[in-house]
Amino acid sequence: MTPDFSFHSPEQKIRHPLYTQKGIEVCFKRDDMIHPFISGNKWRKLKYNLIKATEENKKHIVTFGGAWSNHILATSCAGATFGYSTEAFIRGEEVENPILTMCKLFGMQLHFVSREAYQHKKELFTTSIHRDHAYFIDEGGYGIEAVRGCKEIITELSTPYQHIFCAAGTGTTAAGLALALAENELNSQLHVVPVLKGGDFMAEEMKKLRAPLQQTILHTDYHFGGYAKTTPELIAFVKDFVAQTGVMVEPIYTGKALFALHHLIEQNTFQVGERILFIHTGGLTGLLGMLDKFN
Ligand SMILES: *Cc1c(COP(=O)(O)O)cnc(C)c1O
For the chain, domains (ranges, CATH) are 11-33+150-294 (3.40.50.1100), 41-141 (3.40.50.1100)
Q: Decide whether any atom of ligand 1 lies within 6 Å of the 49 Cβ.
A: no
Please give the residue that has the higher pLDDT: either 117 or 6. 117
| pLDDT > 90? residue 4 | no
Indicate the angle between helix axes 41-55 and 144-155, nearest 10 degrees.
120
**Distance from Cα 268 to the centre of ligand 1, integer Å:** 27
pLDDT of residue 190: 98
Pairing of strands 85-91, 60-65: parallel
pLDDT of residue 27: 98
The protein residue with its alpha carbon nearest to ligand 1, atom 4, reads 169
Q: Give the angle subtended at the CA of 73 by the CAs of 190 and 47, to the nearest 5°.
A: 55
Q: Decide whether any atom of ligand 1 lies within 6 Å of the 153 Cβ.
A: no
Mean pLDDT, all residues of the chain = 96
pLDDT of residue 19: 98
Kindly report, residue by residue over 48-94, the tens digit of the pLDDT.
Answer: 999 999 999 999 999 999 999 999 999 999 999 999 999 999 999 99
Report how far apart, in Å, the C-alpha atoms of 60 and of each of 42, 78, 89, 176 are.
18, 12, 14, 26
Rounded Cα distance between 292 and 230, Å, is 12
Atom of ligand 1 nearest to the CA of 32: 13
Q: Decide whether any atom of ligand 1 lies within 6 Å of the 40 Cβ.
A: yes
| pLDDT > 80? residue 2 | no
Rounded Cα distance between 80 and 272, Å, is 47
> How sure is the predictor about 3, in pLDDT bands with cuts at 50, 70 and 90?
confident
Q: Decide whether any atom of ligand 1 lies within 6 Å of the 9 Cβ.
A: no
Mean pLDDT for the stretch of residues 114-137: 91
pLDDT of residue 6: 79
Q: Decide whether any atom of ligand 1 lies within 6 Å of the 199 Cβ.
A: no
pLDDT of residue 5: 77
Determine the straight-line distance between the first and last CA of the chain, rounded to whole angstroms: 46
Kindly report, residue by residue over 122-131, the tens digit of the pLDDT.
Answer: 999 999 877 7
**Distance from Cα 231 to the centre of ligand 1, integer Å:** 20
Strand stretches in 157-293, DSSP E: 163-168, 189-194, 216-218, 275-280
pLDDT of residue 28: 98
Rounded Cα distance between 197 and 213, Å, is 20
pLDDT of residue 10: 95
Kindly report, residue by residue over 275-284, the tens digit of the pLDDT.
Answer: 999 999 999 9
Q: Decide whether any atom of ligand 1 lies within 6 Å of the 43 Cβ.
A: no
Mean pLDDT for the stretch of residues 169-185: 97
Q: Decide whether any atom of ligand 1 lies within 6 Å of the 283 Cβ.
A: yes
> How sure is the predictor about 230, in pLDDT bands with cuts at 50, 70 and 90?
very high
pLDDT of residue 1: 59
Task: List the alpha helices (DSSP H) in 127-191.
Answer: 144-155, 172-183
**Distance from Cα 53 to the centre of ligand 1, integer Å:** 22
Atom of ligand 1 nearest to the CA of 172: 7
| pLDDT > 90? residue 7 | no
**Distance from Cα 252 to the centre of ligand 1, integer Å:** 9
Mutational test site, ligand 1, from 138, 173, 195, max ligand atoms within 8 Å of CB: 173
